[in-house]
Amino acid sequence: MTELTKATALNLPMVDPLPPETQKYFDICIEKLGMVPNVLKAYAFDIEKLNAFTAMYNDLMLADSGLSKLEREMIAVVVSSINKCFYCLVAHGAAVRQLSGDPQLGEMLIMNYRVAVLDDRQRAMLDFAAKMTMSSAEIEEGDRQNLRDSGFTDRDIWDIANVAGFFNMTNRVASATGMTPNPEYHAQHR
């Protein structure tokens, strides 16, 4: 395995054999995505950590929410752009391209979301996620009110904060461990 195909720079081998439920999850990834994302492989040295990660990810990114899947992916990309997380920019940039059908939007969010053509709601959401990433202690009631004025409920604000918070955490773990994105992501949905 070359350095570019390893899940991380750490020597933490996956549990072998994987428990049947984990193997089934990985098989579903292969069926739906054509690969097992390296982030899952990275966590697979400890099945309890993998399960905790996937439970939180699936709840934040896939469960019912006032935020669309695209909006949640947009938050992931903007947070990852500020944090310069190579793994998440590649993986979630591909998701934005897929969900939006707009490769240009994916690139704009990666480079500088402020140049993207966004509606007022999306702009407010991404401004909040960016402020939370750069200076969360400076968030005030006016920032939350701006989201409400843009059509978000308090539950939506909770989801925006949690998605942004999750990616701030995962960006740091991915960068610190040298997590490498799957090569397949680079060409997807362009």
Q: What number is the average pLDDT over the span 144-170? A: 98
Share of the chain above pLDDT 70, in %: 95
Q: How confident is the model at residue 183 (pLDDT cuts 50, 70, 90)?
A: confident
Q: What number is the average pLDDT over the span 160-183? A: 96
Q: Cα(52)–Cα(50) distance, rounded to whole angstroms?
A: 5
Buried b (16+ CB within 10 A) or exposed e, 44-76: bbeeeebeebeeeeeebbeeebebeebbbbbbb
| Residues ≥6 apart with Cβ < 8 Å to 180 | 3, 4, 5, 6, 7, 8, 38, 86, 87
Which residue segments constitute the domains of the chain, with CATH numbers given? Answer: 20-62 (1.20.5.810), 69-187 (1.20.1290.10)
**32-67 residue pLDDT tens:** 999 999 999 999 999 999 999 999 999 999 999 999
Does pLDDT of 189 surpass 90? no
Given this model, what pLDDT does residue 82 score?
98
Angle (CA) 11 187 55, round 5°: 50
Report which of 163, 156, 168 is spatially closest to residue 121, judged by C-alpha positions: 156
Least confident of 2-11, 12-21, 148-157, 179-188: 2-11
**103-117 residue pLDDT tens:** 999 999 999 999 999
Mean pLDDT estimate for the chain = 94
- Check: CB of residue 100 under 8 Å from CB of residue 106: yes
Does pLDDT of 68 surpass 70? yes
Tokens 């992916």 identify what position? Answer: 73
Given this model, what pLDDT does residue 187 score?
66
